[in-house]
Copies of this chain bind each other. A is one copy, B any other.
């Protein structure tokens, strides 16, 4: 198995994530052709029209035949079914990877289909996206200067990891590897919890019976803060359930943090508040420049 000379990439799920990857790989000349697969033929037709994929098959088992890499870009809740259909069509040499936002659950799904110890499945997660979704939102630059995390198990072959790494690097991303456990903890904090907090804030304010026009008086800060509450609800339900334990652990830690602030307010402790705000500002300014 070589990382150069890739002939065919099969992308299952041609929405924002899969579609943008396909566009980036085409632009980079990473492979000769990209075949799309998915449940909804309309989406696949549109993906061909937009030049995102070269051809498609609505039967995943057919689409994967002869592919060098299969990239599964479906919601986490649809991962298991996609793996079943891949398994019906693939031979043992095909490298399979995914783009799911939680990794332990995907590894469980993969092992239940491909068998524990299967060397050619490379769990992956591109840290990129927008609040929009669908093939119409796809663009070739989505992964440029973004990070992709691969979480190989001890059974994953180095050659398979290298092939997937080369693919993401061709799309413009830099690739890190870590354990699935660590990935799920980090993402629970930096992505899954913030999404829950944003969805929760909008819902909470919307439920205030006494203030109909509350959103009219929201400024730019509120718009930025709640942007992620415009994300796809089904995708986020799946992510929260798939990474349930880490998300719940983060929610607990966050609740404790907010309790600390509530007590500071209760006790009129301005020093305590300022201390937290100053530390947060310093940290945030340091990592966001």
Contact = CB atoms under 8 A, between A and B. Distances in A.
Interface of A: 127-131, 146-147, 149, 176, 182, 185-187, 189-191, 193-208, 210-211, 214-234, 236-238, 240-241, 244, 247-248, 251, 253-255, 257-258, 261-262, 265-266, 268, 270, 273-274, 276-281, 283-285, 287-288
A185 B200 contact: no
A200 to B, nearest CB: 5
Contacts of A237: 270, 273-274, 277
A228 B224 contact: yes
Given A190-B214, A202-B283, A227 B225 contact: yes
Q: Is the interface of A mostly helix, strand, loop or mixed?
A: helix
6 contacts: A146-B219, A189-B208, A200-B276, A203-B283, A218-B287, A238-B270
A127 B219 CA distance: 6
Contacts of A201: 193-194, 197, 254, 257
A176 to B, nearest CB: 8
Contacts of A257: 200-201, 203-204, 207
A199 B277 contact: yes
Contacts of A230: 281, 284-285, 288
Nearest to A252: B262
A281 B199 CA distance: 7
Closest 4 CB pairs of A and B: A233-B277, A202-B280, A215-B287, A204-B257
A142 B73 CA distance: 41
A125 to B, nearest CB: 9
Contact of A214 (B186, B206, B234, B278): B186
